[in-house]
Amino acid sequence: MNLILFGAPGAGKGTQSSLLIERMGMTQISTGDLFRAAIKNKTDLGRKAQEFMDRGELVPDLIVIGMVEEVLNKSVKDFILDGFPRTVAQAEALDELLKKMNLSIGKAVFLEVPMSELMDRLTGRRVCRSCGAVYHVKSKPPKKDGICDLCGGEVYQRQDDKAEVIETRLKNYEEFTSPLKAFYKKAGKYVEVDGNRSTEDVFSDIRQIIA
Ligand code: AP5
């Protein structure tokens, strides 16, 4: 089944996607990760995206939609859309794209996490610069400070995980992404999962949804 995983910044989309890849063999399409890779590789796309990301703003719809279309054209299946769509315009464009490609989305899973918890998760998050593994200074620190357990890469804090940028991201989420709940309810695909529990409990719910 193809899945949309959505929710506020820090809700656990990336963490749950990693488990779905590892245990269910699914493929993740994360627009945030694609942009970060483009920035690392200093491509035109990366240069365009970086100015928006560093400020905590959304990258313009046309740029995001074009990038997702390219990935979907590579005939992926059993995919998780992580961080896309993020606006109603993106959701409508996705419907068009999928129709053209004869593909569909089974469920749009919303991870519900209270704002107070999101702030703590985001300010404490650390990420491996090489393999993208996700840590948290309190709940999931790497064994050796600043070094990734999995690949030995450098563990760093994302520029957009600084407190002042997080505020803008959360505001944009409320304004532009939160209306997707109504969009997917209307489409009969909306499922809500309580994301404010252990990663294993959250994963167990998602597994049941896609079973
Ligand atoms: P993106 O990378 O997608 O960021 P995001 O949506 O803000 O999501 P995050 O990666 O911050 O959080 P997450 O939900 O994946 O949480 P995680 O699992 O890491 O996008 C970045 C930027 O790119 C955007 O701001 C925008 O500029 C641009 N962009 C991307 N897509 C776009 C689009 N479609 N349109 C326009 N612009 C776009 O977990 C967070 C922390 O919490 C970790 O430390 C983790 O260990 C911890 N944690 C996770 N689960 C739990 C749990 N159950 N209990 C306790 N701790 C937990």
Taking the centre of ligand 1 as the mean of its atom positions, its distance from the CA of residue 75, in whole angstroms, is 25
- CA 140 centroid distance within chain: 19
Q: Is 207 a catalytic residue?
A: no
Residue owning the nearest CA to atom 23 of ligand 1: 32
The sign one gets for the Cα dihedral 18, 52, 105, 111 is positive
Least confident piece of the model among 3-12, 36-45, 75-84: 75-84
The Cα–Cα gap between 181 and 108 comes to 9
pLDDT digits (tens, 9 = 90+) for 69-127: 999 988 678 999 999 999 999 999 999 999 999 999 999 999 999 999 999 999 999 99
Q: What mean pLDDT do residues 19-40 have?
A: 95
pLDDT digits (tens, 9 = 90+) for 166-210: 999 999 999 999 999 999 999 999 999 999 999 999 999 999 999
Identify the pLDDT of residue 77.
Answer: 82
Residue owning the nearest CA to atom 57 of ligand 1: 12
- The pair of structure tokens assigned to 130 is 């090489």
CA contacts within 13 A on the Cβ side of 16:
31
The Cα–Cα gap between 95 and 104 comes to 8
Taking the centre of ligand 1 as the mean of its atom positions, its distance from the CA of residue 211, in whole angstroms, is 25
Q: What is the pTM of this model?
A: 0.95
Residue owning the nearest CA to atom 42 of ligand 1: 121
